[in-house]
Amino acid sequence: MRRPALMLPGAALALLCAAPALAQDIEPNAEPIEAALKSGPLTPDEVLRSSALTFPQVLEAFEREAAARADQLGADGAFDLMLKGEYYDRLTGYYSGGFGKVEARQPLRLYGAEVFGSYRVSSGDFPIYENYNYTNNLGEVKVGALFSLLRNRDIDSRRFAIEDTRLAASQAKLDVMLVQLNVQHEALRAYWRWVAAGEEIRVFEELLEIAEARQVGLTREVNEGARARIALTENEQNLLRRRTLLEQARRDFLTASNSLGFYLRGADGEMVIPTREMLPDLARMKSVAKPEALAATPVSEVIRNRPELQTFKIALERANNRVALRRNDLQPSLNASVELSRDFGQIGPGGPGFDSTDTVVGLTFSVPLQRRTAQGAVQRAEAELRETELRQRRISDQITTDVANILANLGAAIKLADLADAEVKQANAMVQAERTRFRLGAGEFFLVNAREETAANARISAIRAQLAGRLAEASYNAATMNLKALGLE
């Protein structure tokens, strides 16, 4: 008999069609998977809870988000209040002048402005080329502000960094969701393949048990002279073939168990390899949802909520900000400043010229005559923006196509499952009829074996169809962000 592909038996139809709610709300203090496993068969809920809470890739995504939030905090530091102190004194020499100064500066986001305030007090005599250091006896207080009127007025590297890191943190959060969706999707697929592999073993175990029981009867009949020894030899050949099929099924189940154990982990993050004793009762599992019910949500809404497209929206915003920053570099620099200072106390050695309230305004202007560096940066930023827009369109179309294909596959899988079940019933009826003919002496032993193996193949086909339906349902839930079904609500 040709070795069928890894699938579930006829009972798998019920299994693949009926997982109760695939997931429940995940609580931080959710029951450890080890305790849940002791209470009964392994369910999709337990697998999804385990992968959501302990799978390393999910935890890595959370750490990347934390790193992005840290970058955001670091960018905000560009507008931290700065305090600066300065002390200057002459220890020897003709002049004795010295001073102490403390200054606070606060950058502002509006107009790239900066406000400052300082206090300075001096003592002793200064040479004429340092006479600006003089203050009255109680010192000088100065306040002022700087403004950008052209370049750096609306955006500069500091404000760009703050906005860019904020958007990057939002992207990292969306990346967490995307990782979670992918992990839960793969965990579900691993779970259903594990169940299918377990059901396949049952099919081949039953097939082998029939051949072993028949071997006992044939041995008795041959010894009594009621049947030719060739029948015994032929059944021995069937035994070897069916044992081979069973060993292959056991190998596939072990492989599927290891794959599921990759997502099924204990509270300490160590993998838990499931055993056959943990296989669920398929009869209690809910059937696969019909495509008509799944398609109730418009595809346009599905696409709009996908993390990939939300990420592209943010990427476009980041790209537009980058273009704005590069265009800002093309503008000339025109900065304005205003200062107000006042000395207090008795007039110092500097004389009455320092005993006044001074208001000073200023303008500075500069522009590079060749701006090729800035122009090249602008062109690159604009090209990256167009590239992002085109990639967004491609991914949107790809998601639309994927969802349509998933629904088509699901509909076909359900129909094929119904046909496979009908085929199983007919194959079983043929087996019973051929066995009856054989017992009455009207049939051939070869035909009995052939009918049994045909029936086994039909059961494997039913398993395959049901597994395809489960996988399509899991893919649809992942594509449409059905958080409840994926254990992420």
User: In whole angstroms, what is the distance from residue 245 CA to residue 241 CA?
Assistant: 6
Question: What's the pLDDT tens digit per position in 123-138?
Answer: 999 999 988 899 999 9
Full DSSP string of 31-57? PPHHHHHHTSS--HHHHHHHHHHH-HH
How sure is the predictor about 445, in pLDDT bands with cuts at 50, 70 and 90? low
Greater pLDDT, 414 or 280: 280
Residue 111 has pLDDT above 70, yes or no: yes
Q: Is the pLDDT of residue 431 over 90?
A: no
Residue 357 confidence (pLDDT) above 80: yes
Least confident of 178-192, 251-265, 332-346, 395-409: 395-409
Q: What is the pLDDT of residue 299?
A: 67
pLDDT for 181 beyond 80 = yes
| 425 band by pLDDT with thresholds 50, 70 and 90 | confident
Q: What is the mean pLDDT of residues 396-422?
A: 80
Q: Which of 158-172, 288-302, 399-413 has the highest mean pLDDT?
A: 158-172
Which has more pLDDT, 368 or 49?
49
Look at 16-30, 238-252, 403-417 and tell me which has the smallest mean pLDDT. 16-30
What is the pLDDT confidence band of residue 107, given thresholds at 50, 70 and 90?
A: very high
**Could you give the strand order of the β-sheet that contains 98-107, starting from the edge strand earlier in sequence?**
82-88, 98-107, 114-123, 140-148, 333-343, 357-366
Q: At 439, is the pLDDT very low, low, confident or very high (cuts 50, 70, 90)? A: low
The H or E element that residue 9 is part of is none
Region 385-392 average pLDDT: 86
Alpha helices in 331-371 (DSSP H): none
| pLDDT per position as a tens digit, 3-59 | 333 333 333 333 223 333 333 333 334 455 565 555 578 999 999 999 999 999 999
* pLDDT value, residue 452: 79
Q: Are 407 and 294 a contacting pair, CB within 8 Å?
A: yes
The pLDDT value recorded for residue 29 is 41
Band the pLDDT of 423: cuts 50, 70, 90: confident
Q: How many CB atoms lie within 10 A of CB 148?
A: 19
Q: Report, as an integer, the average pLDDT of 265-277.
A: 89
Supply the mean pLDDT for the chain. Answer: 83
- Residue ranges of the alpha helices (H) in 262-371? 291-294, 299-305, 307-330
Share of the chain above pLDDT 90, in %: 38
Contact (CB, 8 A) for 271 and 36: no
**What's the rounded mean pLDDT across residues 349-362?**
87
pLDDT at 442: 58
Residues 414 and 10 sit within 8 Å (Cβ to Cβ): no
CB burial of residue 132 (10 Å; 0-12, 13-18, 19+): exposed
User: pLDDT: is 84 or 287 the higher one?
Assistant: 84
Asked whether the beta carbons of 144 and 339 are under 8 A apart, the reply is: yes
Cα of 352 vs its chain's centroid, Å: 71
Q: Could you tell me the pLDDT band of residue 293, with boundaries at 50, 70 and 90?
A: low
Mean pLDDT of 392-405: 83
Q: How large is the C-alpha radius of gyration of the chain?
A: 39
Adjacent-strand bridge partners of 147: 336
- At residue 420, does pLDDT exceed 80? no
